[in-house]
Amino acid sequence: MERIDLMDPDVFVSGVPHDYFTWLRAHDPVAWHDEKDGTGYWLIARFDDVVEVNRDWRRYSNWLRASSLEDPVSEEELRVRRLVFVNQDPKQHTRTRKLVRGAFTPRRLQQLTGQIEAICADLVDDLLAADEVDFVHDISRHLPFRMVARMFGVPEADWDMVLPWVEQVTNNQEPAHNPGLSSRFEVQRKALEYGHELIARARRDGGDGILAELLDARIEREDGTFDQLSDDEIASFILVVVIGGVETTSHTVAEAIGLFADRPDLYDRLTAAGECPPSLVEELVRWGSPAMNFRRTATEDHELGGRTIKAGDKVVMSFSSANRDERHFADPHTFDPWRTPNDHIGFGGGGPHFCVGAQLARLDVRLMLNEILRRVTRFERTGEPQRLRSNAFAGWLRLPVTATGR
């Protein structure tokens, strides 16, 4: 079959190419793809192979050339990317991750639950007050954004200014969010500057917020001295949480609404149950795989899936493909909100970079769907939806719907 250029974000405007992935899994599960402006890469399509690459951090490095599909354009960009732990390998990764994990403890999540419920209630008020909404633009993106904004102390007066930045940084391939398609590095620089302002404010104001905690976080080194995060590392952490958390969570909720609008029978069964089953959240993440893929760089020559991978080769794990692998999931192209078991790898395949925000994402999505199931009886589409132009995140750019309340 002719290769599809997965580096090209236009490919995803017509949807995730699942037919192509199905073919690759059957015929060419570790497939070499040439790149127009790059080195070329191996695309890993099967579940078991993705898990192997994801776990074997010695052989597949995040540090060497960072973890996103596009190569860093300069050594300076690579240096800045490496400040954040998603672009580090153990032991350095382990150290940074330990320092930031205070931001996501179960106690912290419990403290956030009331705030998340209040945000969900406000958003469903907005949904029901409007005749028609673009569910992504008007509703779903605001839930994770407001959560993250509260976590990092972004003043409410800045929200209207900061949200478009967040979308520009995250979706730099989408002209609706990044007019002029400025380079990612350029738009990230502006966001990092704002991160430094938030840090300065937290340092001045103190309090018990996450930033104050990160400023204080210390871990003991083997020699008994203590290690702390630098301001650059904290600013990069804010950036990666924003990039990792806002778009993915928003798409997961929006994916549900598209399905509910098309399948009123399914929606009725879920509303009859009265609340969102945890299995629905897991199935949405498997089905939609909003974080489609991550990149690694091989550290040595070796064999995978019968192919010889050379040291320095670019290796791309497709979570979208692995989560539809018929060797692993029964009926993988059927959306089943009660699927059990469902050991999808939408949050990662169990390696050291497993999504640090997975529990927060699950909580956000479950509480939002609870509120929706309780108060909305029906969704209907009111216009053509549009997919996001992105080779990193899968989801809707626009999803026009109308909702009927109880």
By CB under 6 A, is residue 244 in contact with ligand HEM?
Answer: yes
By CB under 6 A, is residue 97 in contact with ligand HEM?
Answer: yes
Residue from the set 347, 379, 393, 396 that interacts with ligand HEM by CB under 6 A: 347
By CB under 6 A, is residue 116 in contact with ligand HEM?
Answer: no
The candidate with the shortest Cα–Cα distance to 391, out of 8, 91, 23, is: 8
DSSP string, 44-113: E-SHHHHHHHHH-TTTEESTTT-SSSSPPSSHHHHHHHTTSGGG--TTHHHHHHHHHGGGG-HHHHHHHH
Binding mask 43-62 for ligand HEM (x = CB under 6 A): -----------x--------
The answer to whether the CB of 113 falls within 8 A of the CB of 360 is no
In this chain, which stretch among 119-127, 170-178, 285-293, 321-329 interacts with ligand HEM, using CB under 6 A? 285-293
Residue from the set 248, 299, 320, 402 that interacts with ligand HEM by CB under 6 A: 248
Please tell me the number of Cα atoms within 13 Å of 3 on its side-chain side.
17
By CB under 6 A, is residue 240 in contact with ligand HEM?
Answer: yes
- Min CB(111)–ligand HEM separation in Å: 14
Name residue 291's beta-bridge partners: 393
Beta strands in 218-271 (DSSP E): 218-220, 226-228
Kindly state the DSSP code that residue 291 receives in the 8-state scheme: B
Q: What is the dihedral of CA 291, 55, 148, 190, to 10 degrees?
A: -80
The answer to whether the CB of 113 falls within 8 A of the CB of 98 is no
Residue showing the smallest CB distance to ligand HEM in the complex:
357
Q: Which is nearer to ligand HEM, 29 or 351 (CB)?
A: 351
By CB under 6 A, is residue 86 in contact with ligand HEM?
Answer: yes
- Min CB(321)–ligand HEM separation in Å: 13
- Min CB(358)–ligand HEM separation in Å: 6
The candidate with the shortest Cα–Cα distance to 275, out of 367, 359, 339, is: 367
Which residues of the shown chain bind ligand HEM in the complex (CB under 6 A)?
54, 85-86, 97, 240-241, 244-245, 248-249, 252, 285, 290-291, 294, 319, 346-349, 351, 353-357, 360-361
